[in-house]
Structure 1
Amino acid sequence: MTELAAFIESWTDDPNGVKSAFLRLKSILESLQGATVNFVPRPPASYSLRAEPHRGRPVIAMVDVATLDGERFLSVCFYADTITDPEERGDLIPGGLLSQDGYCFDLDSGDADGVSYVEARILEAANAFSLPEDGLDTEVDEDD
């Protein structure tokens, strides 16, 4: 069993549905052609999925699982110049993504609207890296 599979299997306490959001975003990252998804555990601080392009900058997106007051949440981060944030849901973090400006979006539940919004940012960042998505049904209508 891989470290990632063991981490997912051990994640049994999930009253807010954060694990389902993590699994959905994991699927989106894995669908990006021209990128490799790596798991970087840093217990107990965080557990990180990193979509790493085969060229260019080190990461397209990072999905960190962190814990605050005993509750898990996701912090999904991108380079600031690879995405937009039309609804201003993210936080600009100067120098916060591998010493470059980043945007981070926190998800503390499996709320479909929040997850869809972050999915759209992942696909937007992948487009900035010129990476096609692999046919996963990820069409997002942000007007809903």
Structure 2
Amino acid sequence: MKSETEQALNAFIEEWQDTSATNKKIFVHFKDYLNHKEGVLLDFIARPGLTYSLRGVHKAQKDKDLFVMVDVIEDATRWLSICFYGNMITDPEERGDFVPGGLLGEDAVCFDLEEQDDALVTYIETRLDEAWLNASSK
């Protein structure tokens, strides 16, 4: 991650006043989870008042710009939307929402977290592992 991008991400996290939904904690968890995956590069794109996007790309990826986007959605309270290209993951429990053209113009599967849900976080981690593995070979 570029130095100025990392500074912007760190400032965003520091300034975020978490609520009882603990979405800040979950966002930081996914950031750290991705940071520990081999070959992953992170980018952060802030659109204040709309979204704050943490994007993961694998160094070996050739045909896509990322394999996951962890969005912080600005609303009455901040919530998270974690999106994957539809062809890079499975969703055996159908817990995600299929979004046609929802990820950089391609079909996506997105998982929304409005509050702490440990089972869903674990389920999303499995999808992250799957997308990371698929991204390393595409």
User: Taking structure 1 as the reference length, what is the TM-score of the superposition?
Assistant: 0.85
Contact 1:79-1:101 at 8 Å conserved across structures = yes
Contact 2:58-2:136 at 8 Å conserved across structures = no
The whole-number CA distance in structure 2 between the counterparts of 1:52 and 1:20 is 22
Partner AA of 2:130 in structure 1? E
The whole-number CA distance in structure 1 between the counterparts of 2:18 and 2:42 is 25
Between Structure 1 and Structure 2, how many residues are aligned?
A: 130
Q: Deviations over 1:49-105 (max 9, x none)?
A: 00022232100100000023x111100000001101111111111111111111110
- The aligned residue for residue 99 of structure 2 is 93
Which residue of 25, 28, 47 maps to 2:30?
25
The whole-number CA distance in structure 1 between the counterparts of 2:114 and 2:120 is 9
| TM alignment of 1:5-24, pairs within 5 A | 5-24=10-29
Contact 2:18-2:24 at 8 Å conserved across structures = no
Which sections of structure 1, spanning at least 5 residues, go unmatched? 132-144
Runs (4+) of structure 1 exceeding 3 A deviation are: none
Partner AA of 2:74 in structure 1? T
Q: Secondary structure at the match of 1:77?
A: strand
User: Taking structure 2 as the reference length, what is the TM-score of the superposition?
Assistant: 0.88
- The aligned residue for residue 80 of structure 2 is 74
1:113 corresponds to 2:110: no
Which sections of structure 2, spanning at least 5 residues, go unmatched? 1-5
Percent of aligned pairs sharing the same letter: 43
- The aligned residue for residue 54 of structure 2 is 49
Q: Secondary structure at the match of 1:3?
A: helix
